[in-house]
Structure 1
Amino acid sequence: MLADLEELVTCESYSADHAAVARSARVVADQGSRLLGGARPRLLDIAGVTHVQWTFGTPRVLLLGHHDTVWPVGSLRTHPWSVEDGIARGPGVFDMKAGLVQMFHALAGLPSLDGVCVLVTGDEEVGSDTSRALVEDVARGCAATLVLEPSAPGGALKTSRKGVSLYDITVHGRAAHSGLEPEKGVNAATELAHQILALDGLAAAVAADTGPGTTVTPTVMSAGTAANTVPALARVDVDVRVPTAAAQDAVDRLLRSLSPRLPDARLRIGGGPNRPPLDPAASRELFALAQRTAGELGLGPLSRAAVGGASDGNYTAGAGCPTLDGLGAVGDGAHADHEHVVVATMPERARLLARLVGALR
C-alpha cells in the first residue's frame, strides 16, 4: 500500500494544471487496473479535465473520490514524499490519495466487483464544475455512495457536511484624479467597504430565521488601478457555508438584495449555490452499518462528525443517494504544511471498506 501511495503522491496533480491532472489520471488508471483484475477504466475528458471511471455490471454501490489536489506542481520540492515513524507525508497524501489506495486494495480483496462503480474525479478541489453532472447521474442509479475523502479528527466518519455557495460582488464606480477632483469620482473601494460590513450582519439575519451554523466570509478582494486615482472598480469573493437548504436559500435571497450606499455606484452579484448540504439523514443507516461492521472486524467503535468542508458527497446526497463520507485516510493537515497519514490505519480502513461494499452489493 505504501508503494502505491508513493506512486500517486509523487505524480503531482494540481487542479488548475490540466496536463498534470491528465498524467495523474493515467497513473490512477494503471494502478487501479493492476489491483482490479486488469479491468481498464474509462478516461473521461470533460472540458479538459480528466476523470477515471470503472463500472462493473449494474452499479448499486458508488465508490467516490478525486485525484486532484490543491498543491501546485513543484510542491514535492518543499513537501517531499516521506515515511517516518509510521507517518506518511507529501502533497495530497491525506486529501485524498491515501483514500484511493485504500479503496483499490479493499476492492482487490473481493471475490466479485459486480454492482460496483468507481469514480475518481479530477476537479473536486475547485468545485467539480466538469464532473458534477457525472457524479449526480451515477449516484441516482445507486443504492449507496461511499466517499473516500479523509476522515475527521480521530478517524471519525463524516455524516454531515455544510452546503457551499460561492459569490463574487463587483462594484462599479467612477474614476477621477484623487488629488485634483476626487469629488467627481465614485469610490468603488468605499462602496465595497460598505458591502463587506453589510455581509458581516447577513449570517446573523439568516440564523435568526433558519437557525445557527451559517457563515458568510469575504475572502479575496481587489480595488483600484493607481495610487492617485479614485477606484472605478472593486470586487470581493464571498464564501458561504450553510447547514440546511433553507439557510442556503435565505443567504441567496439576502445577498442578492444588497444595494449600493453611494450615489451612482452600481453592484453586480455573481455566483450562487455550489453544493447542497449533506443532511445527517442521508448517512444515518450507512453509519449504523459501518458501526456494526467495525465491531465485527474488531476495529473498535466508530465516531461521526459534522464538518464545514464540502465534498462530492454533497452532490450524491443531494441527488437522493444515501451517502457515507470520510471513509478514507486517518491523519490530519488537509491543504496544510503538516498534511500526513497514519500508516497503520490504512489496512484497517481498507478492510472496513471491503466489508461495507460486500454488504451493500
Structure 2
Amino acid sequence: MLADLEELVTCESYSADHAAVARSARVVAAQGSRLLGAPPRTLVVDGITHVQWTFGAPRVLLLGHHDTVWPIGSLKTHPWSVEQGVARGPGVFDMKAGLVQMFHALASLPSLDGLCVLVTGDEETGSATSRPLIEDTARRCSATLVLEPSATGGALKTSRKGASLYDITVHGRAAHSGLEPEKGVNAATELAHQLLALEGVADTVTASIGPGTTLTPTVLRAGTSSNTVPARAEMQVDVRVPNTAAQEAVDRLVRTLEPRVQGTRLHIGGGPHQPPLDADASRDLFALADEQAAQLGLGPLRQAAVGGASDGNYTAGVGCPTLDGLGAVGDGAHADHEHVVTAALPPRARLLARLVEALR
C-alpha cells in the first residue's frame, strides 16, 4: 500500500493543470487496473480527466478524486516521506491515501459485481465537469461510499454543510481622484457597504432558521490606479449552510441587496453550489459501518459533522444514501502539515471491504 501511495503522491495533480491531471489519471488507471483486474473508462470533459470502472449493474458507488490543491513543484518543498509511521507529501491525506485504501479493499473481494468506482479530476475546484456524471451514477445506486479523508481521529463524516458562492460586482464611475473626485462614483465605497450588509444576511438567517450559517467575503478587488476613483469593484463570498432552508434563505436575501451609494449599480452572480449532506442520508450507512467495525475489532466508530463540502454532497442531494470520510486517518488537508498515519491504512481498507460486501 505504501508503494502504491508513493506512486500516486509523486505524480503531482494540481487541479488547474489539466496536463498534470491527465498524467495522474493514467497512473490511477494503471494502478486500479492492476488491483481490480480490469481497465477503466477514461472520460475527458472540457480538458479534465476522470476515471471510471463499472462492474455489472451498479448498486454501490465508490467515489473519490485524484486532483489536489498543490501547485506543480510542491514535491520540492513537501517531498514524499515515510518516517515513524507517518507518510507525507502533497495530496497524501486529501485524498490519495483514500484511493489506495479503496483499490486494495476491492482487490480483496471475490467479486466486484454491482460496483461502480469513480475517480474524478476536478473535485478541488467544485466538480464542474464531473458533477453530472456523479449525480447520474448516484441516482442508479442504493449507496455511495466517499473515500475523502476522515475527520479528527478517524471519525466518519456523516454531515456536511452545503456551499454557495456569490460574485458581487459594483459598477461606479471613474474620475481623477485629485482633479475632480466629485465627478466619480466610488465602487469601492459601495463594496464596503455591501461587505457590512452581508453580516446582516447571516444574522437574519440565524435568527429565523437557526445557527450554523456563515457568509465569508474572500477575494476583493477594486480600482485600477492610485489616482483614479474606482469604477468597478468585485467581491467573492463563500457561504456555508447547515440545511437547505438556510441555503434558500441566504440566496433570497443576497439577491435583494440594494446599492447604498447613489449612482452605483450591483450585479450579483453565482448562487447555491453544493447541497447540504444531511445526517439522515448517512444514518443507516454509519450504523452498518459501525457494526462491521465491531466485528473486525475496530469499533466503536465515531462520526462528525464538518463544514467543508465534497462530492458526497451531490450524491446525497439526488437522494442516494451517502457515507463520507472513509478514507485516510491523518490531518492537515491543504496545509503544510498534511500527513497520513500509515498503520491505519490496512484496517481502513478491511473496513471498507466489509462494508461493501454488507451492502451487496
TM-score normalised to structure 1 length: 0.99
Match of 1:268 in 2: 267
Structure 1 residue 140, shift from structure 2 partner: 0.3
Q: RMSD of aligned C-alpha atoms?
A: 0.4
State how far apart, in whole Å, the 2-side matches of 1:272 and 1:19 are.
30
State how far apart, in whole Å, the 1-side matches of 2:245 and 2:313 are.
15
State how far apart, in whole Å, the 1-side matches of 2:53 and 2:176 are.
61
Determine what percentage of the aligned residue pairs are the same residue.
81
State how far apart, in whole Å, the 1-side matches of 2:170 and 2:354 are.
54
Match of 1:20 in 2: 20
The reply on whether 1:286 has 2:285 as its aligned counterpart is: yes
Moved over 4 A (4+): none
The reply on whether 1:85 has 2:87 as its aligned counterpart is: no
**Counterpart residue identity of residue 337, structure 1:** D
**Counterpart residue identity of residue 21, structure 2:** V
State how far apart, in whole Å, the 2-side matches of 1:220 and 1:81 are.
32
The reply on whether 1:171 has 2:180 as its aligned counterpart is: no
State how far apart, in whole Å, the 1-side matches of 2:245 and 2:11 are.
41
Q: Any residues of structure 2 matched to 1:203-222 within 5 Å, and which?
A: 203-222=202-221
Question: Which is further off, 309-318 or 201-210?
Answer: 201-210
SS, match of residue 344 in structure 1: helix
Q: Any residues of structure 2 matched to 1:227-238 within 5 Å, and which?
A: 227-238=226-237
State how far apart, in whole Å, the 2-side matches of 1:128 and 1:79 are.
26
After superposition, give the CA deviation of every residue in 1:4-53 in whole Å (9 maximum; x if it has no partner): 0000000000000000000000000000000012x000000011100000
Structure 1 residue 201, shift from structure 2 partner: 1.9
Q: Any residues of structure 2 matched to 1:109-120 within 5 Å, and which?
A: 109-120=108-119
State how far apart, in whole Å, the 1-side matches of 2:208 and 2:44 are.
43
State how far apart, in whole Å, the 1-side matches of 2:25 and 2:165 are.
27
Structure 1 residue 200, shift from structure 2 partner: 1.6
State how far apart, in whole Å, the 2-side matches of 1:201 and 1:27 are.
48
SS, match of residue 69 in structure 2: coil
SS, match of residue 149 in structure 1: coil
Structure 1 residue 202, shift from structure 2 partner: 1.2
Structure 1 residue 61, shift from structure 2 partner: 0.3
Match of 1:256 in 2: 255
Structure 1 residue 210, shift from structure 2 partner: 1.1
The reply on whether 1:350 has 2:349 as its aligned counterpart is: yes
Match of 1:322 in 2: 321
Match of 1:182 in 2: 181
Q: Any residues of structure 2 matched to 1:26-37 within 5 Å, and which?
A: 26-37=26-37
Gaps of 5+ in 1: none
After superposition, give the CA deviation of every residue in 1:139-162 in whole Å (9 maximum; x if it has no partner): 000010000000000000000000
SS, match of residue 34 in structure 1: helix
State how far apart, in whole Å, the 2-side matches of 1:138 and 1:128 are.
14
State how far apart, in whole Å, the 2-side matches of 1:203 and 1:89 are.
38
State how far apart, in whole Å, the 2-side matches of 1:80 and 1:259 are.
50
Gaps of 5+ in 2: none
State how far apart, in whole Å, the 2-side matches of 1:274 and 1:77 are.
34
After superposition, give the CA deviation of every residue in 1:49-79 in whole Å (9 maximum; x if it has no partner): 0000000000000000000000000000000
After superposition, give the CA deviation of every residue in 1:284-316 in whole Å (9 maximum; x if it has no partner): 000000110000000121000000000000000
State how far apart, in whole Å, the 2-side matches of 1:172 and 1:100 are.
46
State how far apart, in whole Å, the 2-side matches of 1:201 and 1:149 are.
34
Structure 1 residue 250, shift from structure 2 partner: 0.3
SS, match of residue 219 in structure 2: strand
**Counterpart residue identity of residue 313, structure 2:** N
State how far apart, in whole Å, the 2-side matches of 1:259 and 1:241 are.
22
After superposition, give the CA deviation of every residue in 1:91-123 in whole Å (9 maximum; x if it has no partner): 000000000000000000000000000000000
SS, match of residue 241 in structure 1: strand
State how far apart, in whole Å, the 2-side matches of 1:152 and 1:163 are.
17
Match of 2:5 in 1: 5
Match of 1:225 in 2: 224
**Counterpart residue identity of residue 51, structure 1:** H
State how far apart, in whole Å, the 1-side matches of 2:208 and 2:214 are.
14
SS, match of residue 106 in structure 1: helix
State how far apart, in whole Å, the 2-side matches of 1:201 and 1:154 are.
36
State how far apart, in whole Å, the 1-side matches of 2:262 and 2:113 are.
65
**Counterpart residue identity of residue 250, structure 2:** V
**Counterpart residue identity of residue 277, structure 1:** P
Q: Name the count of aligned residue pairs.
A: 360
SS, match of residue 61 in structure 2: strand
Q: Any residues of structure 2 matched to 1:185-204 within 5 Å, and which?
A: 185-204=184-203
Structure 1 residue 209, shift from structure 2 partner: 1.2
State how far apart, in whole Å, the 2-side matches of 1:133 and 1:311 are.
14
SS, match of residue 113 in structure 1: coil
After superposition, give the CA deviation of every residue in 1:326-357 in whole Å (9 maximum; x if it has no partner): 00000000000000000000001000000000
State how far apart, in whole Å, the 1-side matches of 2:182 and 2:274 are.
43
SS, match of residue 247 in structure 2: helix
